[in-house]
Amino acid sequence: MGLSLKNPIIIASSGLTDSVEKIKELEANGAAAVVLKSLFEEEIILEMKETEHRMTGRPFLFPETLDFTEEELYEDSVRKYIRLIKEAKEAVQIPVIASINCVSSQKWMYLAKEIQEAGADGLELNLFFLPSDDDREQLDNLVITDAIIHQVKEIVSLPVSLKIGYYCSNLASYISRISEAGVQGIVLFNRSWMPDIDTENLLVTSGPILSSPGDFSQTLRWVSLMSGKVKCDLAASTGIHTGDAVVKQLLAGAKAVEIASVIYKHGPRYIKTLLEDMKKWMTDKDFESIDDFSGLLKHSSAGNPAAWERVQFMKNFSQFIS
C-alpha cells in the first residue's frame, strides 16, 4: 500500500485489534502494522434505520429532527470507531489501517472521509461475494466492486486496499480488474464464516472459526500467479501460522502477510517467534534483506511455472495406480 513497514507481519482485522491496549501489546511484540476490527456496512445501515425509526416516533414528530439522523448515528458505532483510530494513532508508532466490511456502495461512503480525517494510515475494504445466487452474474460483482473503489478514491487520498475472497468464476481477471481500478493493495484472501451440521440436534452450526496451517495453500497459489501481473502490492492472508509459511508467501511474491488465528492460539508474543524463525531462515540462506528473495518463486519467475497451475494429483498418486 506504499506504507513503510519494519517487517512483513500485519495483524489482520479481528478482535485482536479492537482496542488501544491490544494494539499497543501487538506493537510491543513486533507487529509491523494493524488492521482495525472491521466496521460492518450492515451494522451502519441497521443503526441508521433504528435511529430514523426512533426519531419519527411520537416524541419526535417535527421535521427538523430528521436532519440529525446521521449525526446521532455518529455517536454510536461510527464515532466509537473514529475515536479508536485517533487514540491508536496517538498510542503507537506503527501504521494503523481502518477496515470496512462492505457489500455495496451505499451511504457508508461518508465514513471514508471521517477515517482519513481521524488520521488512519490506510483503509482496507473487505469485500466478499458468495456466488450462491444463480440470477446474479459475475459482471454484477465487478460493477459493485468498481463502484466502491471509485467512490472511495474520489473521497480520500489515503492508500486503499481490498481484501477479497476466492469465490469467483474468473479470479485472475477479477484481481487484475481491481488493481487497474487504482487501489494500492489487494489482500488474498479473507476467511469466511464456514457452516457445519450438528447431526445430534439436526442444526446448522458454525464450522472452525480459526484457520489451520493447511489453509494457506490456496493463498500461496494465487499470490504467486498474480504477483508481477497486477499494478499494486499483494498481501497474503489465511492459514499463515509459522515463520516458514511467512517466508513461502514472500517467495511467492507477497509484500506482507496478515495474521490473526495463530495469535488467537498463541498470544501476541508469538509474533516474535515468527520473526525469529524468518531471520534464522534468511541467515541460513545468506539473505540480508527481504528484497533479496521477495518474489523469487512467483509464477512468472519460477523455473517450473506449470507447478503453480497444476490441479491434479497424478504425480503424487501414481504409486497407487496398478
Residue type present at position 138 = Q
| pLDDT for the residue 192 | 78
Query: What gap in Å lies between CA 25 and CA 82, rounded to an integer?
Result: 20
Pairing of strands 160-164, 33-35: unpaired
The yes-or-no verdict on residue 291 having pLDDT over 50 is yes
Distance of CA 54 to the CA centre of its chain: 35
pTM of the model: 0.85
The yes-or-no verdict on residue 69 having pLDDT over 50 is no
| pLDDT for the residue 57 | 52
In this structure, how many other beta carbons lie within 10 angstroms of the beta carbon of residue 79? Answer: 14
Which of 46 and 67 is assigned the larger pLDDT? 46
Instruction: Please report the DSSP string for 154-180 in residue order.
Output: HH--S-EEEEE-S--TTHHHHHHHHHH
Least confident of 92-106, 111-125, 199-213, 250-264: 92-106
Pairing of strands 122-127, 160-164: parallel
In this structure, how many other beta carbons lie within 10 angstroms of the beta carbon of residue 173? Answer: 12
Query: What gap in Å lies between CA 94 and CA 81, rounded to an integer?
Result: 18
Q: Is the bond preceding residue 189 a cis peptide, omega within 30 degrees? A: yes
Query: What gap in Å lies between CA 108 and CA 66, rounded to an integer?
Result: 18
Residue 253 sits at φ, ψ, to 5 deg, of 125, 0
Please name each of the domains of the chain with its CATH number.
9-40+93-320 (3.20.20.70)
% the chain with pLDDT above 90: 63
| Cβ atoms of residues 223 and 236 within 8 Å | yes
Nearest alpha carbon to residue 84 among 12, 34, 130: 34
Which of 50 and 250 is assigned the larger pLDDT? 250
- The string of pLDDT tens digits covering residues 177-200 is 999 999 999 999 988 778 899 999
Collect all residues with Cβ–Cβ distance below 8 Å to 44 and sequence separation of at least 6: 73, 77, 78, 107, 108, 111
Backbone torsion region of residue 267, taken as left when φ is above 0, otherwise alpha when ψ lies between -120 and 50, otherwise beta:
left
* 147 CB burial (10 A radius; 0-12, 13-18, 19+): middle
